[in-house]
Structures are given as C-alpha cells and as structure tokens.
Amino acid sequence: MAAQPKPLAFEHPSYLHDPGGIWSWITTVDHKRVAVLYGITALFMMAVGGMEAMLIRAQLMVPGNHLLSAAAYNEMFTMHGTTMIFLVLMPLELGFFANFFIPLQIGARDVAFPRLNALSYWVFLGGTIFLHLGLLRSIYGLPDAGWFGYANLTERMYTPGINVDCWDIGLLILGVSTLLSGLNFFVTIVNLRAPGMTFMRMPMFIWAMLVTTILILLAFPALTVGLIFLFADRFLDTHFYRVSAGATPILWQHLFWIFGHPEVYIMALPAFGMISEVIPPFSRKPLFGYPMMAYSLVLIAFLSYGVWGHHMFATGMGPIADATFSITSMLIAIPTGVKIFSWLATVWGGRLRFTTSMLFAVGFLVEFTIGGLSGIMHASPPVDLQQTDSYIIVAHFHYVLFGGVLMGILAAFYYWWPKITGRFLSEKLGKAQFWITAWAFNATFFPMHFVGVLGMPRRIYTYAPHMGWDFWNYFESVNAFILGFAFLLFFINIIWSAMDGEIASSDPWDARTLEWSIPSPPPAFNFAAVPMVTSRDAFWVRKYGTVGTHGVAPAIAGGAAAAPIGAHAEVEEHIHMPAPSLYPLIFALGVFLMGVGCLVWTRLIIMGGAVTVMSVIGMVFEYPSFGKFDPAMIAESTLGLDHRKVGMWAFLGSECVFFASLISTYMVYKDRNLGGFDAMILNIPLTSVSTFVLLTSSLTMVLALAAVQRDDRKWSVFWLASTVLFGCIFLGGQAFEFTDFVMQGLKIQTNLFGQTFYTLVGFHGIHVLIGVCWLIVLTIAVARGKIGKDRSLAVEIGGLYWHFVDIVWVIIFTLIYLMRTVKHA
C-alpha cells in the first residue's frame, strides 16, 4: 500500500471570507459547484421539456383531438425544441460535465476564469427564466413560432404578443452565457494543461470540448446577429426580413443555419468525447485510432461551416448552391464514420463489462448510426425536397439528438456520477431504464419514418382520420409515455443515490484518465500536486506501466491502491484558491433587468445597464492582484501567455464573426434598396477626419502602454486621456452624422440602406463607447496609482480591444464610405 499523504490546507485570500450554507452556493466560483448548479437546473428543465413532449404526443394520439388548442400546441412544440436544445442538452454537456471534468482531466485546479464561469451560470439561469416570462401575463404566453424562429412568422404583424419577444431576448441572454463558457473552456484547455500533457496526450473528451469551444466562438455570433435583426424588426419597426421592403426572410435562414448546423456538432461532439471515455475502461483496451479520432473531430468542425445550406434546399437557392452543399453534406459523413469504426474497433476483442454506462454507450452507437444514415439521405436535394417538413425529419432529428446526444449524456451520468458525488447510481434501476429507453425510443421515433413517407407534415396540431396515420400516431404516443416512465426511473435513481447510494472508491471502474486519481468526490483544490504527464492515458500508465496492457495487477486491482498521479511531484502544503464573489450574480441581474425593460419599462434598461457596468467595474477591482503579471502562471501555461491575454484574443476572434455577419448583410442588401436614400448621403469629409482621429488614437494607446510599462504615471495618464479624447471626438462625429441624416429624413426604418447602415456603424460605435468607458476607468486607476508597471497587463488587454475596434472601422469605412461612393461616381 502506498503511503497516505498528509492532510493539505487550502485557503481563499485573507481579504475575502468564504461563507457557508446557501450563501456559499450563491457566491461560489468553484468549477465543481458551478457544474452542480448547471446540472440541477438542466435536469429540472429536462423534466419540463419531457412534460411538453408528453402533451405534444397526447394531442397527436388520436385524430381530431382537442386536448390542446392550436395556439397551445404551437407553444408546446416551440418550447420543447428550445428547452431540450438550449436548456437541457447544451447545459448538461457544457455547464455540467465540461465544467466539472475539464480541469480534472487536464490536471488543473480550476478553470482559467472562475468568476466568469459563475457569471455564465447566473446569466444562463436569467435567460431560462426570461424564456418563460410570458406566463406571467397569460397562460398562453410562451413562445409559439417554432424553436427555429423562421421569418416572417416571427414578425410583429404575425405574432403581436410578447411570446416571440421573450424568445428573442431570452436566446440573446443565453447566447451571452454560452459564449462566456466557450471562451473560458477554450483558454482553460489551451493554457492550463498539466506539464507534459501535449495535445496528442489529451483525453478524447478534452479534444471534443476544445473543438466544441471553437465552434461556439465562431458560430454563435451569427445567431446573435439574426436575433438582433429580429429585435430591431419587432421593437424599432425595421424590415430586415420583410419582402415588401426589398428584404428577404431567407436572410434569417442563412444566419440561423450558419449557426444551426455547427450547433448540431456543438451538441454532438461532447457526446462523442463522453463515449470515447466510457468505452475503453469497459472494454479494457485503449481507444483505437486515437490520432484519427482527434483529426476527425477537427475535420467535422471545419466541414460543419459548409453544410448549412442542406437545411434550405427547398428555398430555391439554385443548382450550383444545391450541388455545393450536397457534396459537403456527404463529405462530413467520412470523419463521422471514422469515429464510429474506431469505437467499434475499441470494443472488438475487448474484455467487455456491460455496466449501465456501457449499455448506453452501445445504444449511442446503434441509434446515432441510424440517425446518421437517415441524415445522408437529406444530402441529396431531390430526396430532401420530398422529405423536408415531413415527420421523416422529426425522426432523423431525434435519432441524432436523443439516440445520439442524450444516450451519450446518460452513459456519462452513470460513468462519472461516482466521481461527482462519491456514490453509485443503482445498476438495477439503470439497466431497467436502459432497456425501457431502448424499446420506447425506437418505438416512438422509428414509426415516424413511416408516417412521414405517408405524407404527415410536421407541426400540425391535429389531423383527419383514415389518412393512414391513425395507428402509428397512437403507437408512438403510447411508447412516448413509456419513454417518460424510463426517465422517471432516472430521476428516482438520482434521488436514491443521493440518499442511500453505495459509496464509491476513487477509481471504481479501473479507468484511464487523471480525474480517477483523486478522491471521490474531488476536494476543493482537485489535485494535491500538479500532476506530471508522460504519456497518453496517464493514470492507466501510472497503474500498469503501459497503455495497451489487458492484464490486471493483483496488488492494485481496480486501481484502488495505485499511487496518486502526482506522487512524484512536490506536494504543496498550502493551496491558494479563488475567492467567492457576488458580482457574477449582480451582473446577471443587470442583464436580466435590461431584458425586462425592453418588454415593460424602458427606464429598466438604463437601470439594468448601470447595474451591469458597476458589477463589471467591481469585479475588475475586487482582487488586489488585478492586472498583475503572474510569472508563475505564464511559466506553467502551454503558450507561455497570460490567461487573460489568450482570452482577449479568443473573444476578438468571435467578434470578427459578429462583424462579418453584419458586413455581409450590408453587402447583400445594399443593392436591394427599393429607392430613397443611399450612400450618396454619406458625409465623406467629416468621416475621413473622424477616421484619422480614431487611427491616431491607436498610436496614443501604444504610447500609453509604453508609459505604463516604464512606470511613468504622468505620461500614462496623458496618453490614456488622449486616447479617450480621440475616441470621444470620433463618437461625436458619428453622432453629428446620424443627427444630420435624421434631419434629412433617413431613419433606421426608412429603407434597407438606412437599417443596414445604422446597424453596422451603430454597433461599431457601441464598441467604441465600451472602449472609451474602459479607458476612462483605466485612466482613473492609473491616476490614483492603482495601476503601475507591475499591472500593465490591464492596459495591454484594453489596448488589444482598442486596436481591434480601429481595424474594424477601417474595413467599414472602406466598404460603406469609399467603395459605395466610388460606385456612384
């Protein structure tokens, strides 16, 4: 038996007290506790989404049914889709499992930005509540235009209530949460891996999450832009999606599916990673074809941006577009097939243990393969034209997201639950749940292929008898309730485990990765010493000495007596942990108030904005170490860069997609203007001067950073104040130009040129305003001696943002002012 290490002391900074009880959960920044908060919320919403599904199937059980009205049915299928995608699957994968296990699998003590992590949860909770706010006004107050929100169903003239308003603003809030999580996990994986953990030594779940975070950063801005356009149409009377004004509702479909198809893989890739962690321990074999598995993840992500058009074959894009998207949609099956064959090869010849987790993993392989094969059919435009908007699509979608993603999540629950709680889930209840789920799922959704072929369309709330659909709808509905019973067993299992579950050892499955080398549940500091990684499957190699062995060493059977993974590292006696904070909750409250203000009282927008700004400032100066360089952090990071700098670069990458979406809309709509004002109204001399001033501000920003780095407070304040002044001059020029346009009659509602111009230039102006406020805070902090040479990183990061804003303006100025004017000349 290995010698037991002495107890370790961990501490929060002395200037902040660690509270207990409920308050400790409200103010927590521990990634494990934040994960639990996500998990509880997502499981509750799973129950809500399941009840919505039961109501849908009860309504369709028999023809001519009036259990639900048409309006109530629209709300149920809209909220079922929205709930399961945005409030269940993604929060469980990103918020629960990724939050809990990314630091544990890479040998880190927490995520890169603990307070940002807590903030993402509270914003997520606010968005979840916001989606359901319409219930306060009426029992029929839920969103009702479909989870896909197709224009022009979502225009005010077709849905005049607050239903779609809540959906639009709620998704914008949820998008903020998801982007924060994606940025945080990206920086954590890239910069916080344990020494020796190269990319090709990372667990496959970490590979999956790394690729997923990149997808999040590059896909969600397109949805954000689409939702902003919808917000403008509903609240500002613009017409981004109105045909009568020269616009097209197809713009929404492009923006939505540019996000939507990567979103499928944002949900699927974490499940791929989970399955890749579950199958090897229960096959007692290493994952087959590890390098190709990693490369296929990257290839899937790359191709996912070129297949969105296969959702739009019926819109008449033309033969060239149809052929292009058809080819890319077929190509993406290749890396997916590589993964399926790798999982099968891992199982083949292994010493299999059919635990509940392994059963769900095998179920994932079967069901996801069926869903993938039916998806390949839709890569053919002629076939897709026959099947689109029929129940075949409903069947395919559920085989991918339920049979694939949710089966993977259930496998992960039974696999990692002992590590999370220190207790097992019941294997008897688990296996009963699996077999009931396997039958009921297939009996519910496979017949939908039949009714789809027989012509049953999606989204109808009732149907006439004797159309050939009666038996299969009754059969599907009965089995849907059986499926609901299977998930009732799952919830019972969770409650039983929490109350009386069998105690789990630190490594009950004889697993391969680092999280199993520490106690169950993990201590607050995760690792007593930062582990040293020398090979792939680090914990397995530590136990057995080789990656591929099948034998079980008697002295350490089950891994119970294996030496800790960090046994050869110097154990730290005092471990410094991040302190709790209330500011994340205050920030989320401010965002929520701004959303409510859009619905009921515009003054709440100002109040919520003030709360948000003050919480950000408070969060920045909450720690005395604000803005300091941390040589130890940089020395341990994979890139040799501070986390905050890597995070800013990742954020700016996401912002590039945001502005690219706005610019693309302008480029498409600039020639669809039906008359009236166009680019000839632009004030080139004024804007040229403003552009020169803004570019000059980049020079003063560079000089300000240089002054701070040499600890020259006088010139630091001077150059920062100069940058602020130049930014204000630029904003003043924009304000004058906008006012002049309004006086001449060009408003945001006037025509397509006006709305695309004001939106693109206006959002850049908002970014400049944020930068000005940021620099004002920095100037005051430097003037008061809060920022000096040792904290120059704060100014450097602010400078990165400011230079990005300037570069974006150069592109906008060229495309809108110079190129448009040259064309008219």
Rounded-to-integer distance, Cα 754 and Cα 311, Å: 30
Are 588 and 687 contained in the same domain?
no
Q: What is the DSSP string of 84-107?
A: IIIIIIHIIIIIIIIHHHHHHHHT
Q: Which residues pair with 9 in a beta bridge?
A: 574
Q: Verify that 287 and 176 share a domain, yes or no.
A: yes
Mark whether 152 and 45 lie in a shared domain: yes
Calpha distance 32→20 (Å, rounded): 16
Last residue of a domain, one of 443, 465, 500: 500
Judge if 355 and 451 occupy the same domain: yes
d(CA 453, CA 530): 57
Q: Which two tokens stand for residue 113?
A: 């930005």
Q: What is the reported pLDDT for 64?
A: 92
Give the C-alpha distances (Å, rounded to integers) separating 214 from 27, 336, 339, 750: 28, 18, 20, 38
> Quick one: tokens of 100?
């809990």
Q: How many residues does the chain have?
A: 825
DSSP state of 813: I
Q: What is the pLDDT of residue 140?
A: 66
Q: CB of 417 within 8 A of CB of 423?
A: yes
Domain that holds residue 618: 583-623
Q: Is 784 helix (H, G, I), strand (E, B) or coil?
A: coil
- The pLDDT of residue 568 is 41
* Domain match, 600 and 640 both: no
**What pLDDT is recorded for position 785?**
85
Q: Is residue 744 part of a domain?
A: yes
User: Which residues are CB-contacts of 580 (< 8 A; sequence separation ≥ 6)?
Assistant: 12, 16, 18, 19, 24, 27, 28, 29
Q: Kindly state whether residue 333 falls inside one of the protein's structural domains.
A: yes
Residue 163 lies in a domain: yes
CB 428 within 8 A of CB 493: no
- How many CB atoms are located within 10 Å of the residue 73 CB? 21
CA-closest candidate to residue 376, choices 307, 327, 338, 329: 329
Q: Radius of gyration of the chain from Cα atoms?
A: 28
Question: CB–CB of 293/204 below 8 Å?
Answer: yes
| Stretches in the chain below the pLDDT threshold 50 | 1-18, 549-570, 824-825
User: Kind and range of the H or E element at 11?
Assistant: strand 9-11
* Residue 750 structure tokens: 């006037």
Q: Angle at the Cα of 317 (from 311 to 323), degrees rounded to 5? A: 75
pLDDT of residue 431: 96
Indicate the burial class of 653 (C-beta count within 10 angstroms; 0-12, 13-18, 19 or more).
Answer: middle
Q: Three-state SS for 635? A: helix
Q: What is the full DSSP assignment across 708-733? A: HHTT-HHHHHHHHHHHHHHHHHHHHH
Among 500, 526, 545, the domain-final residue is: 500
What is the number of domains present in the chain?
3
Q: CB–CB of 391/452 below 8 Å? A: yes
Statement to judge: residues 246 and 138 lie in one domain: yes
> Do 139 and 38 share a structural domain?
yes
* 470 shares a domain with 608: no
Residue 266: closest CA among 124, 39, 90, 411: 90
Whether 374 is covered by a domain: the verdict is yes
Continuous H helices in 157-249: 163-191, 204-235
The type of residue at 534 is T
Tokens of 52: 């919505």
Claim to verify: residue 639 and residue 727 sit in the same structural domain = yes
- Decide if 59 contacts 144 (C-beta within 8 A): no
Residues 308 and 390 in one domain: yes
Count of beta carbons in the 10 Å neighbourhood of residue 672: 14
In a domain, 55, yes or no: yes
Closest of 361, 205, 344 to residue 288, by C-alpha: 344
* Same domain? 588 vs 700: no
Q: In one letter, which amino acid is 354? A: F
Burial of 107 (0-12, 13-18, 19+ CB in 10 A): buried
Residue finishing a domain among 450, 480, 500: 500
Distance CA 556, CA 507 (A): 11
DSSP state of 457: B
End-to-end distance of the chain based on CA atoms, in angstroms? 85
- 593 and 682 fall within a common domain: no
421: in domain: yes
Q: Is residue 570 part of a domain?
A: no
Question: For 501-601, where are the alpha helices, taking DSSP H only?
Answer: 538-544, 583-599
CATH of the domain at 648: 1.20.120.80
Indicate whether 824 belongs to any domain. Answer: no
